[in-house]
Structure 1
Amino acid sequence: MIDALRGNSTMQLSEDGLSWIASSINITCFCGFAVVAIVTEILGRRKALILLNIPVLCCWIMVYFAQNITTLLFSRVIMGVSYGGVLMLTYICVGEYASPNIRSLCLNLIGCVGTLIGSSLGHILSLLIPWREVALLGIIPTCLAIVIPCFWVESPFWLASKGRFDECTDAFKALHISTDVTKKELALIIANERRNQTKYSSNTHVLKLIITKVSIAIKERYFWKISILNTVINIYRIAGGRILFTTLALTILKDITGDSNILKHTILVDGFCILGALISCILVKKFKMRSLLFSSGILANIILIVLASVLYYRPVQDDIYVWIKVSLLALYFIIMIAGPYAVLETLLIEINPLDIKAFFIFFFGAIIGVAQFLAVKLMTNMVNLIGYHGIFFLNAIIIFICMTYIWYYLPETKGKSLEEIQCYFKNESVLEGVYENCEQCNVLLDSVKKKCPHII
């Protein structure tokens, strides 16, 4: 709705004011990460998700009735805090509720397909109907997000962390088909949490418990390996441009095409984005994570460089070159979303330290939230300084650097449980595709060649 506000005569918003409205939600999201770290520890995943969605509903109503920039900015602050928590909690729930073999597919349906359909509807509706009515329509999915979790079971991981092992078993069985693999996974969850109960038994206060867990984790080498990898993955996501594009799509397309009538261009690019998200559901099921990330990532980056070159050498808004530019942008996003984004969204959930997942997401979410805020807030200044071609060239360089680091330090995670992935970062040992952690007796394995002296 940012582009629609640009032509609003009653509010008379400046470009600086519009950039604050567009970017403020990114920097306030990390407050939501802090809220979710505490609320979900106390209430669990299900109740926390319901509670955090209520302010989001209120924000859409505020936007609908807003008459000045102060109200709009205030709604963005509340939305950032609430939806920041909702977003992270949603990803946490998928990681904890879904089986390893369908986890990447579920995360992709939520993180790519669902998000892009929502943003595309926002882009198209903002071109067709008044922006206040677009805000009013935002109430519908928010109400669904409040009602649907009422019918969930609680997360088995959270129940186990509270020592409610019988309830954990019932919830896990409700979510998974009973096989030898799922029985081992359940046994592993309970064994890990029994050990944690002993480790943290003296700390009954929630805040003191979180501080104790964090102080233990930051002394471990694996924590910093995961932290650096998490940061690099997030930088890759920001440089990929999806967040920037979904926020300022209409403005970017108008600048690139030099035309105010961009409905066809918007449908083309957004349609390709959704198509890429749908294709990614097939790709993440058929290919390994590493293979998909690097093959599609390199191809997408080459297209981004070609697009930047066309923008640089053909700045004139000729009909043929306009469609070439829009088509290259659409092709870039279809490949980027079908491959790299599908993998990166999944990895951000899979590589978190299990003991301090909520805190980890809050701390590094705050850093990345600031980076996303700066990317959107400074977009106008960067366009004036180096142009869209300069921005795309810069993003391509950053992506290549991130891919180089990920190549050396990212393990294959497809089909692995969250405990197995964490064991890899702790021990960096792999046996027949399964991560082993004999030192702490975390994993029960039937096919390990070297027998563990502490069988669970």
Structure 2
Amino acid sequence: MNDFDIELKMNQKKNRLKRKYFYRQLLVNSAAIICLFIHGVEVGAPTVLVPQLRQEANSTDAVTPEQASWLPAIASYTAVPGLIVQNAMAAYFGRKVTHTFVSIGALIGFIIFYCSPNIQVIMIAQFFQGVFMSPYVCTVIMFIAEYTSSEHRGLFLTIKSATFFWGILTSNVLGTFFHWKTIPMLGMACSVYSLIVGYFWPESPLWLAKMGRFDQCAKSHRWLKGSSEKSEKELEKLLAENQNSKNKMPLKYQINHTFKSIIKKEIYKPVLLSQLLIALYVFSGKLVYTVYAVEILKKITNKTSTAYAGMLIIDAVTIFSMYIGCAFVKVFKRRTLLFACSSIGVAFLYILSIYLYLVKFHVFAEDKYVSISLLVGFSINKTLQEIAECMKGVKSVEDNRLLPTVRDNVTIVPENQK
């Protein structure tokens, strides 16, 4: 066997190993990312659920306007305590326990949803989804960052960006063509998948290192990322960073040190900027439109079938725009893209408002295709704006070195020091 054949076989072996560890990371991330899909299914459900419940009862009193308003909103309110609980669990009990907790909660919520005899019980199911699934939108980024190699991280984050909207589209498709109980059935299947895959997860190497479990950290890191020279250097750096004196601080000093870190401008400035960008997206009306799409389009088109078709078209356009936005942020400056898309989105809303007022005052007859086209234009620009907001927020975090500051200053008492 000559040198060329030996080198070829070595390269083939390296490629097989790379694929092996990539598939392991794919398996782990699939369980985390599918939770975002579940969240999209839960958010999209009220859009098609309310019309079906009213149709089944042959009365609008089956779901009052107040109940129709609270149904999508309750998950947002319950997400706040859920986020606090999930972050605390991730810090003190580990990422694997947190993921299992979320998957079980989502499964319970969808079981209640499926068995619901009335709107009141469905609201209880939405409460469960809000506590368990809504905060996962934040914690999933931590999971992807810690379980994924740097060369694959961008791929999984790109997949994550549109998964939520795929969930909304799937929920709306099921609710349009099938009975509403097919939605919780899909949610239960996805929750079971997430739970089963999560059972075979290793614990996060970063969390294990912070807790002082260095042998388990090395084992988990090598299972996920292999034993290549690059991976071993990453592991050595991880272990070295967590073997410093700060891990031996008294708990009282750690709490005081963490509080002082939080009030630094390197942390609160990007956090406030991120909140401003989120408010810009919410107050633009895109989220409200997502929930009330059928009702809005019914009033525009005066035809139920056209309203459902328009809703699905706009959902599909939203997903397509997410991928276009990922390409745009590589071509245009984030700030330019953010202001351009925001301005154009507002312009579409103004044009639509003026157009509908002119129709109301009988200046000319309404053309439903014009109205839907304006809504599609608005949806495209608001989706591109959302991508720009995400990337702008990440850039702000990077510029202010938020992540290193948090990692270096927010500490956890190792298990052997408790």
TM-score, with length taken from structure 1:
0.67
1:271 aligns with 2:316: yes
**Segment drifting more, 324-333 vs 268-277:** 324-333
**Segment drifting more, 49-58 vs 170-179:** 170-179
Residue 40 of structure 1: how far off its partner (Å): 1.6
Residue 241 of structure 1: how far off its partner (Å): 4.3
1:3 aligns with 2:51: yes
1:268 partner amino acid: I
The 3 A distance-change label for structure 1 pair 152 and 16 is same
User: For residues 21 and 85 of structure 1, what CA distance do their matches in structure 2 show?
Assistant: 17
- DSSP 3-state at the match of 1:153: coil
Structure 1 counterpart of 2:220, from 171, 174, 183? 171
Indicate if the aligned counterparts of 1:156 and 1:169 stay in contact, CA closer than 8 A: yes
Residue 19 of structure 1: how far off its partner (Å): 0.7
The aligned residue for residue 362 of structure 1 is none
The aligned residue for residue 34 of structure 2 is none
The aligned residue for residue 259 of structure 1 is 303
User: For residues 249 and 178 of structure 1, what CA distance do their matches in structure 2 show?
Assistant: 51
Structure 1 counterpart of 2:204, from 150, 155, 163? 155
**Structure possessing the higher radius of gyration over alpha carbons:** 2
Indicate if the aligned counterparts of 1:109 and 1:281 stay in contact, CA closer than 8 A: no
Structure 2 counterpart of 1:329, from 375, 379, 391? 375
The aligned residue for residue 66 of structure 1 is 116
The aligned residue for residue 89 of structure 1 is 139
Indicate if the aligned counterparts of 2:71 and 2:123 stay in contact, CA closer than 8 A: yes
Q: How does 1:35-434 map to 2 (within 5 A)?
A: 35-100=85-150, 102-110=152-160, 112-176=161-225, 185-195=234-244, 198=246, 201-203=249-251, 211-212=255-256, 214-261=258-305, 262-283=307-328, 287=330, 291-315=332-356, 316=359, 321-337=367-383, 339-345=384-390, 410=396, 422-423=403-404
The aligned residue for residue 403 of structure 1 is none
Residue 336 of structure 1: how far off its partner (Å): 3.8
Cα offsets for 1:342-386 (capped at 9, x unmatched):
3544666x58xxxxxxxxxxxxxxxxxxxxxxxxxxxxxxxxxxx
Indicate if the aligned counterparts of 2:208 and 2:216 stay in contact, CA closer than 8 A: yes
**Segment drifting more, 178-187 vs 18-27:** 178-187
Q: How many residues align?
A: 353
The 3 A distance-change label for structure 1 pair 14 and 158 is same
User: For residues 278 and 143 of structure 1, what CA distance do their matches in structure 2 show?
Assistant: 28
- DSSP 3-state at the match of 1:154: coil
Residue 114 of structure 1: how far off its partner (Å): 1.3
**Segment drifting more, 5-14 vs 308-317:** 5-14
1:194 partner amino acid: Q
Indicate if the aligned counterparts of 2:114 and 2:185 stay in contact, CA closer than 8 A: yes
- DSSP 3-state at the match of 1:130: coil
User: For residues 185 and 347 of structure 1, what CA distance do their matches in structure 2 show?
Assistant: 28
- DSSP 3-state at the match of 1:131: coil
The aligned residue for residue 38 of structure 2 is none
User: For residues 88 and 30 of structure 1, what CA distance do their matches in structure 2 show?
Assistant: 11
**Identity of matched residues, %:** 21
Indicate if the aligned counterparts of 1:303 and 1:328 stay in contact, CA closer than 8 A: no
2:138 partner amino acid: M
Residue 76 of structure 1: how far off its partner (Å): 1.6
2:156 partner amino acid: C
Indicate if the aligned counterparts of 2:352 and 2:374 stay in contact, CA closer than 8 A: no
Residue 49 of structure 1: how far off its partner (Å): 0.5
**Which stretches in structure 2 are left out of the alignment for 5+ residues?**
1-48, 410-418
The 3 A distance-change label for structure 1 pair 311 and 233 is closer
User: For residues 67 and 100 of structure 1, what CA distance do their matches in structure 2 show?
Assistant: 48
**Which stretches in structure 1 are left out of the alignment for 5+ residues?**
352-409, 414-418, 427-438, 441-456
Indicate if the aligned counterparts of 2:106 and 2:129 stay in contact, CA closer than 8 A: yes
The 3 A distance-change label for structure 1 pair 45 and 412 is closer
1:17 aligns with 2:67: yes
User: For residues 176 and 241 of structure 1, what CA distance do their matches in structure 2 show?
Assistant: 42
Indicate if the aligned counterparts of 2:345 and 2:382 stay in contact, CA closer than 8 A: no
User: For residues 166 and 214 of structure 2, what CA distance do their matches in structure 1 show?
Assistant: 39
The 3 A distance-change label for structure 1 pair 97 and 270 is same
Residue 118 of structure 1: how far off its partner (Å): 1.0
Indicate if the aligned counterparts of 1:104 and 1:346 stay in contact, CA closer than 8 A: no
TM-score, with length taken from structure 2:
0.72
Residue 411 of structure 1: how far off its partner (Å): 6.6
User: For residues 102 and 301 of structure 1, what CA distance do their matches in structure 2 show?
Assistant: 31
User: For residues 98 and 411 of structure 1, what CA distance do their matches in structure 2 show?
Assistant: 20
2:265 partner amino acid: R
Cα offsets for 1:216-267 (capped at 9, x unmatched):
3234332222332232232233235443333333223334444322232122
Cα offsets for 1:81-131 (capped at 9, x unmatched):
111343332222013223445434422312x32111110111122122222
Indicate if the aligned counterparts of 2:89 and 2:98 stay in contact, CA closer than 8 A: yes
Indicate if the aligned counterparts of 2:397 and 2:403 stay in contact, CA closer than 8 A: no
Q: RMSD of the alignment, in Å?
A: 3.5
**Segment drifting more, 158-167 vs 99-108:** 99-108
User: For residues 181 and 420 of structure 1, what CA distance do their matches in structure 2 show?
Assistant: 24
Indicate if the aligned counterparts of 1:123 and 1:249 stay in contact, CA closer than 8 A: no
Residue 80 of structure 1: how far off its partner (Å): 0.9
Indicate if the aligned counterparts of 2:103 and 2:194 stay in contact, CA closer than 8 A: yes
Indicate if the aligned counterparts of 1:2 and 1:248 stay in contact, CA closer than 8 A: no
Indicate if the aligned counterparts of 1:105 and 1:281 stay in contact, CA closer than 8 A: no
The 3 A distance-change label for structure 1 pair 169 and 237 is farther
Residue 332 of structure 1: how far off its partner (Å): 3.5
Indicate if the aligned counterparts of 1:156 and 1:171 stay in contact, CA closer than 8 A: yes
User: For residues 285 and 78 of structure 2, what CA distance do their matches in structure 1 show?
Assistant: 20
Indicate if the aligned counterparts of 1:108 and 1:280 stay in contact, CA closer than 8 A: no
